[in-house]
C-alpha cells in the first residue's frame, strides 16, 4: 500500500490511477525529469550498481517514468554499467502508452563523447527501436559510423563536448519533448548546470550503505538550486519524493 503524505492536505491512499496521474508529464513544450534512488545515507550504488537499492514502490514509479515519456535519456557509462538494453513494453505499459497517445516504444538517447559507448553495447544492439546516440564533433568518425552500422541514429550536438541544451532542443524538435533521464550523476549535474532539469524524482530506500558510493549529482558549476517539494509518498519504508525546479 502506498500513501501520499505530502502535501498534508492531500494525505490519502494512492492507487494505480492516482500514481499515473501524479507521475504524468505536463503538457508543455519540454519537460525533463531526472530519476534516482539512494540509500538513507546518500549512496546511489551498491557494488557500483543502482539496482540493489531499488525497492518495490521505487520500481513502480521508476517504470512510470519511461512508460509516460517520449524518450529515455542516459549517460553512456550508466547504460553500459547497468547493461541497459532499452525499453521493452509489457502489456500494461503498452496499454498505458496507448491511453496517453504515446508511441508504442520510447527510444533511448545515450549521451557520450565517444569512448564510453562501444558499438556493441546492449543499449544499441538490443533496443526495440533505434537508439539515439547523442555525441559531439570530437567523437571519431569511424566510431560514429560503427554506431550507425549497429543500428543507432547519431545526433551531433556540440564540438568538444556534448551541448546538452542543443541536444534536448533537437529531441523536442523531433517530438520527443517528455524526457525521462535515468542517470548517471555526471549527466544529472550537467543538465542542472545547463538549467534543463524541470523535475527531480528521488526514492530514499531504507538501507545504510556507507563505503565510497557516489552521490546523485557529480560535477557541474552552479550554486545551490532551491527546489519545491511537490509530493511525498511512502509504503511505510521507502520515501518517494518529487521536487520541482522553479
Strands (DSSP E) found in 99-164: 108-111, 132-135, 153-156
Which residues face 46 on adjacent strands?
A: 49
Centre a 10 Å sphere on the Cβ of residue 219 and count the other Cβ atoms it contains.
12
Residue 186 zone, left/alpha/beta (φ > 0; ψ -120 to 50; rest): alpha
Q: Listing from the earlier edge strand, what are the strands of the sheet with 71-75? A: 12-14, 2-6, 228-234, 239-244, 199-205, 31-39, 178-181, 71-75, 108-111, 132-135, 153-156
R_g (Cα) of the chain, nearest Å: 18
Residue 47 phi/psi, 5° resolution? 65, 30
Asked if the bond preceding 43 is cis, omega within 30° of 0, the reply is: no
pLDDT at position 53: 95
Cα gap 198→212, rounded to integer Å: 29
The pLDDT of residue 211 is 86
Please check whether residue 161 is in contact with residue 138, taking contact to mean a CB–CB distance below 8 angstroms: yes
CA distance 26 to 23: 9
Q: Sketch out the chain's domains with CATH numbers.
A: 1-23+32-50+186-246 (no CATH), 70-177 (3.40.430.10)
- Do the strands 199-205 and 31-39 form a parallel or antiparallel pair, or are they unpaired? parallel
Residue 185: the pLDDT is 94
Burial profile 55-66: b = 16 or more Cβ within 10 angstroms, e = fewer: bebbebbbbbbb
DSSP category for residue 161: S
Over the chain (246 residues), the average pLDDT of each successive run of 10 is 96 95 96 97 91 95 97 96 94 96 98 94 97 97 97 97 98 98 95 97 96 88 93 98 96
Distance of alpha carbon 19 from alpha carbon 188, whole angstroms: 24
Q: What local confidence, expressed as pLDDT, does residue 17 receive?
A: 94
Query: Residue 45's pLDDT is what?
Result: 92
Amino acid at each position: 500500500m502506498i500513501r501520499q503524505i505530502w502535501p498534508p492536505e492531500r494525505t490519502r491512499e494512492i492507487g494505480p490511477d492516482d500514481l499515473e496521474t501524479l507521475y504524468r508529464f505536463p503538457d508543455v513544450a519540454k519537460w525533463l525529469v531526472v530519476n534516482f534512488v539512494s540509500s538513507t545515507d546518500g549512496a546511489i550504488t551498491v557494488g557500483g550498481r543502482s539496482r540493489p537499492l531499488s525497492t518495490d514502490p521505487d520500481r513502480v514509479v521508476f517504470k512510470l517514468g519511461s512508460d509516460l515519456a517520449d524518450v529515455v535519456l542516459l549517460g553512456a557509462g550508466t547504460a553500459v554499467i547497468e547493461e541497459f538494453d532499452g525499453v521493452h513494453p509489457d502489456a500494461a505499459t503498452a496499454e498505458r502508452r496507448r491511453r496517453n497517445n504515446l508511441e508504442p516504444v520510447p527510444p533511448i538517447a545515450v549521451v557520450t563523447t565517444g569512448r564510453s559507448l562501444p558499438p556493441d553495447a546492449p543499449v544499441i544492439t538490443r533496443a526495440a527501436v533505434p537508439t539515439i546516440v547523442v555525441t559531439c564533433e570530437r567523437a571519431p568518425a569511424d566510431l560514429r559510423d560503427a554506431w550507425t552500422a549497429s543500428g543507432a541514429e547519431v545526433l551531433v550536438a556540440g564540438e568538444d563536448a556534448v551541448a546538452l541544451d542543443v541536444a534536448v532542443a533537437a529531441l523536442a524538435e523531433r517530438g520527443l519533448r517528455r524526457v525521462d533521464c535515468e542517470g548517471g550523476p555526471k549527466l544529472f549535474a550537467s543538465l542542472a548546470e545547463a538549467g534543463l532539469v524541470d523535475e527531480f524524482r528521488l526514492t530514499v530506500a531504507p538501507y545504510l550503505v556507507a563505503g565510497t558510493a557516489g552521490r546523485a549529482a557529480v560535477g557541474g558549476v552552479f550554486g545551490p538550486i532551491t527546489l519545491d517539494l511537490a509530493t511525498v509518498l511512502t509504503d511505510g519504508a521507502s520515501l518517494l519524493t518529487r521536487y520541482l525546479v522553479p
